[in-house]
Structure 1
Amino acid sequence: MYRDALKNNDKILSVAPMMDWTDRHCRFLHRQLTGRALLYTEMVVAEAIIHGDRERLLGYDPAEHPVALQLGGSEPEKLAEAVRIAGDFGYDEINLNVGCPSDRVQSGAFGACLMREPDLVARCVAAMKAVSDMPVTVKCRIGVDEQAPEIALSELANALVDAGTDALWVHARKAWLEGLSPKQNRDVPPLDYDRVYRLKQHYPNVFIGINGGIADLNQAVDQLNHVDGVMLGRAAYHNASLLTDVDRRVYGMDVPETDWDAVCAAMMTHAEAHLASGGRLIHITRHMVGLFLGVRGARRFRQILSTEAVRPGAGPEVIAAAFAAIDFSDLTAAA
């Protein structure tokens, strides 16, 4: 289904890959709220997959589908090997990171600095596609440092289309690799949505998605008037409740109101399994604190999760207690 959506340039909403945030517990939560949004892993370095604990790095709950794996790397052979390994895990998409500006990514010669090397990125994509029947996509910026976005993005896109990329997700800001921190790179460089719209106009038959500064679902839906896909990052993480309306507003599905008792029960069951495997409750609940932003009882909900989940022996009952603090009539009224 997801593969056909890419080929047909159908509208897709995704939750962005975010380091230290979109782990398997975050994705499991988000999947309780939307059945159709595309979910992304955190970036996983190809070298780590080749030499590391593959189940820890690549494992996920089958309920997460459709789910995409984001890879970091700049060596075609190693990326191809990582894709071969990931093939056994059944992801719906493999995405190459050409947009992250962090120091640790730059030190590995990948991420946003690859905007300067479109031919290398194209070779990486070609190598990945040669060993996989999964869609291979790229997430990039509109340029880095002193590059002119009109030229830099076109050069990258031209090379990637020739290499057969299945989609291009564009964070509509430049990345400044010198002088700005990764956090500043998410806010300081100005957004240029029009540059991404022009890219879509130039490639009407290529799936083009947009990312960056999209604060809510209304803005996301508006973006879909210009491009094929929209990617929500911090908005989806800090106010995850907005995902409950994605299936209806983006995918046109006739869906019932969210069954919050079922969401609570699913997260408790997930937590029980994680605890049984030696994990801690906080690994799960840290992703839930922004779930009911602006709803009566949300402050108490956050307080319970933040204080009780870290206690020794904390179990799924903490999640039940937190949900019990919410006045769900607020959510019903909003719907």
Structure 2
Amino acid sequence: MPLESASKPETTRPPLSRRFSVAPMMDWTDRHCRFFLRQLSRHTLLYTEMVTTGALLHGDSARFLRHCEAEYPLALQLGGSVPAELAACAELAEAAGYDEVNLNVGCPSDRVQNNMIGACLMAHPALVADCVKAMRDAVSIPVTVKHRIGIDGRDSYAELRDFVGQVCEAGCESFTVHARIAILSGLSPKENREIPPLRYDVAAQIKRDFPDLEIILNGGIKTLDECRSHLQTFDGVMLGREAYHNPYLLAQVDRQLFGAEAPTLSRFEAMQSMRDYIAAHLAEGGSMHHITRHMLGLAQGFKGARRFRQLLSVDIHKTAEPLALFDQAAQLLQGH
């Protein structure tokens, strides 16, 4: 298991590219998930779960920032709206070795709205611009923004264009656009990922109006064929739930989207690549479930997938020999 990083490593780290990335997802893209996804793709940009400024400044910052060098290229997503607090957190991120800091302007949950975090900030472009400027003044790593195309009551293209315009004037050069509006009154976060229609055309218009900005498309993308198609218009693509539920999709990303010559891991080899990491986690007193819960989708699409998931999500809680059970699950992927 690679040593965990408290500062930037001396070795040459992989270059940061936003051509393909996996979205920040609460309760999912923790450090174990990211380590697993990194086994499948060397070039994919990975994001943390959203971390609030309050958690970093007043909580266990070492736990929230914890990661290992194998996860690079890696971005920290922050939730907050107080420029000075965001700047302080950006400094922590840079000191911890992250390649990028991203500001969440897309989360629609009631809990974060009440703290002026997430999509509600789209109604306050000047404040977002102040936040971006404060972070950019504090660090040398890139500061980026992930946002929706609008919110209820502020969903015109003119308002979106004004938002991007004000934030880019503050120095932000890269925007990840979730191509749906967020309906903050009446829809749950899950419904906000499904009910508002996808409007790739609106995101494309932003790219046309701001050709010098890096515009990354997010929302509803499921296949690498779709990624290649969108890359004709956008500078990058970001996948969320599809990358989590069907992680083996990442095994083809380096070859198909980055033109890399690296060999493609089989599903079985991907399992084997995690064994030492899991053994180290168990030796520290951790539970194997902390890691394998992120690997359940590795068997998606072929016979034995149901048994694979049962072993790693149900039987795992009944065994006294977790690594033996892990090996049993891995055997189901032999030859795949």
Residue 77 of structure 2 is aligned to residue 67 of structure 1: no
| TM-score normalized by the length of structure 1 | 0.93
Corresponding residue SS for 1:171: strand
Letter in 2 for 1:106: Q
The partner residue of 1:225 within 232, 237, 252 is: 232
C-alpha RMSD of matched pairs (Å): 1.7
Within-5 A mapping of 1:1-20: 12-20=19-27
Residue 242 of structure 1 aligns with which residue?
Answer: 249
Residue 134 of structure 2 is aligned to residue 127 of structure 1: yes
Tell me if structure 2 keeps the 8 A contact 1:210–1:231.
yes
Residue 6 of structure 2 aligns with which residue?
Answer: none
Residue 177 of structure 1 aligns with which residue?
Answer: 184
Tell me if structure 2 keeps the 8 A contact 1:271–1:284.
yes
Q: CA deviation at 1:327?
A: 4.9
Residue 39 of structure 2 is aligned to residue 41 of structure 1: no
Residue 189 of structure 1 aligns with which residue?
Answer: 196
CA distance in structure 1 between the aligned counterparts of 2:32 and 2:268, rounded to whole angstroms: 18
Within-5 A mapping of 1:79-228: 79-228=86-235
Letter in 2 for 1:239: N
Which has the larger displacement, 165-174 or 272-281?
Answer: 272-281
Residue 267 of structure 1 aligns with which residue?
Answer: 274
Residue 57 of structure 2 aligns with which residue?
Answer: 50
Q: CA deviation at 1:255?
A: 2.4
Corresponding residue SS for 2:75: strand
Corresponding residue SS for 2:133: helix
Letter in 2 for 1:48: A
Q: CA deviation at 1:152?
A: 2.2
Residue 258 of structure 1 aligns with which residue?
Answer: 265
CA distance in structure 1 between the aligned counterparts of 2:14 and 2:133, rounded to whole angstroms: 18
Corresponding residue SS for 2:251: helix
Which has the larger displacement, 143-152 or 77-86?
Answer: 143-152
Letter in 1 for 2:274: M
Q: CA deviation at 1:5?
A: 5.9
Distance change (3 Å), C-alpha of 1:281 and 1:2: closer
The gaps in structure 1 that reach 5 residues or longer are: none
Q: CA deviation at 1:264?
A: 2.3
Tell me if structure 2 keeps the 8 A contact 1:17–1:41.
yes
Residue 326 of structure 2 is aligned to residue 319 of structure 1: yes
Tell me if structure 2 keeps the 8 A contact 1:92–1:135.
yes
Tell me if structure 2 keeps the 8 A contact 1:3–1:92.
no
Which has the larger displacement, 274-283 or 76-85?
Answer: 274-283
The partner residue of 1:26 within 33, 37, 51 is: 33
Q: In the TM superposition, what whole-angstrom CA distance separates every residue of 1:276-312 from its partner, at most 9, and x where no partner exists? A: 2221111111111111211222222111111222236
Q: In the TM superposition, what whole-angstrom CA distance separates every residue of 1:148-182 from its partner, at most 9, and x where no partner exists? A: 33122111110111011131000000000001000
Q: CA deviation at 1:262?
A: 4.0
Residue 307 of structure 1 aligns with which residue?
Answer: 314
Tell me if structure 2 keeps the 8 A contact 1:268–1:317.
no
Tell me if structure 2 keeps the 8 A contact 1:2–1:92.
no
Corresponding residue SS for 2:20: strand
Residue 281 of structure 1 aligns with which residue?
Answer: 288
Q: CA deviation at 1:114?
A: 0.1
CA distance in structure 2 between the aligned counterparts of 1:176 and 1:2, rounded to whole angstroms: 39
Q: Provide the aligned length of Structure 1 versus Structure 2.
A: 325
Corresponding residue SS for 1:29: helix
Tell me if structure 1 keeps the 8 A contact 2:299–2:305.
yes
CA distance in structure 1 between the aligned counterparts of 2:156 and 2:20, rounded to whole angstroms: 24
Distance change (3 Å), C-alpha of 1:212 and 1:38: same
Corresponding residue SS for 1:97: strand
